[in-house]
Amino acid sequence: MTLHLPQKAAAGDRALPPEELADLRARVGALNARYRHHGAVSVMEGALRDPEAGNIAMVSSFGAESVVLLHLVALIDRKTPVLFIDTRLLFAETLAYQQEVAERLHLTDVRVIRTDEELLARQDPYGALRLTDKDACCGLRKTLPLEQALSGFDGWITGRKRFQSSSRSTLEFFELEEDTGRIKVNPLAHWAPDDVRAYMDENRLPRHPLVARGYPSIGCKPCTSPVKPGEDPRAGRWRGEDKTECGIHFGNGTALRQGPTT
């Protein structure tokens, strides 16, 4: 399924009532307490089956490590909605890998999300917005369509992990997006790189073809470069820029932006 989404107001444009916000904070706190000592499978089951988590979708980039989380979803419920944002600037290898993995795991509700073509033509007619304002480019091609695609869901599952960057070093299994009121679930938050590799090996999962070419973190082609040995796994994302997140991950309603890590 491919969705071309028009521009409309985002949920984050309105503030949540204090009572609703307090209730959501309590729910997230209870979920973290309930699953604090559990593993990724239990957290995933909780996200998809615990009434406190609500109606959950999975958001996947079909990147370097995405297949692990997708495999866990397939084991629990292949009908889980999986949202894949096609920015129209992705590597051809990523698009091919997305189809391969979805077919291999028999995922039945993969939704390819794209910003409406007319909106792109108005705001980025030459595809050069990334050269002058990378945040605006990410907002137009990623944040806006994802926000619209998540409308109607109570939360979403991500593949973020603590080891990936300093901005993710304190991730909990469950987080609250206070500007949207949605719960964000990070089942692999505590996994180390060796855990990811071992899971892929044990389950014979296909690798993204760019990983072998030095891309441990894969985004849009113009803004992703190979990573040298010893560098932060996300050092190749927006290399040389004061930017480490695309904007779809927020902390207290503010895009997480930090300087490059070493």
6 versus 243: which is more confidently predicted?
243
Question: Average pLDDT of the chain?
Answer: 86
At residue 93, φ and ψ (nearest 5 deg) are -65, -35
Q: Please give the span between the terminal C-alpha atoms of the chain, in angstroms, as a whole number.
A: 40
pLDDT of residue 251: 43
Amino acid 246: pLDDT: 60
Instruction: List the domain range (segments joined by +) for residue 109.
Output: 2-214
96, part of any domain = yes
* Mean pLDDT confidence for 239-247: 69
Residue 252 pLDDT more than 50? Answer: no
The domain that contains 195 carries what CATH number? 3.40.50.620
Residue numbers annotated as active site: 246
> Does 114 fall in a domain?
yes
Greater model confidence, 245 or 72: 72
Express as a percent the part of the chain with pLDDT over 70: 84
Asked, for residue 47, whether it belongs to a domain, the answer is yes
pLDDT in tens, 126-170: 999 999 999 999 999 999 999 999 998 999 999 888 766 555 566
For residues 229-258, give the mean pLDDT: 64
* Mean pLDDT of the 110-131 span: 95
pLDDT at res. 25: 94
Q: Count of domains in the chain? A: 1
Model confidence band, residue 254 (pLDDT cutoffs 50, 70, 90): very low
Q: Is residue 221 part of a domain?
A: no
Residue 245 lies in a domain: no
Residue 225: inside a domain: no
Domain contains 234? no
Q: What is the pTM of this model?
A: 0.84
Confirm whether 100 is domain-assigned.
yes
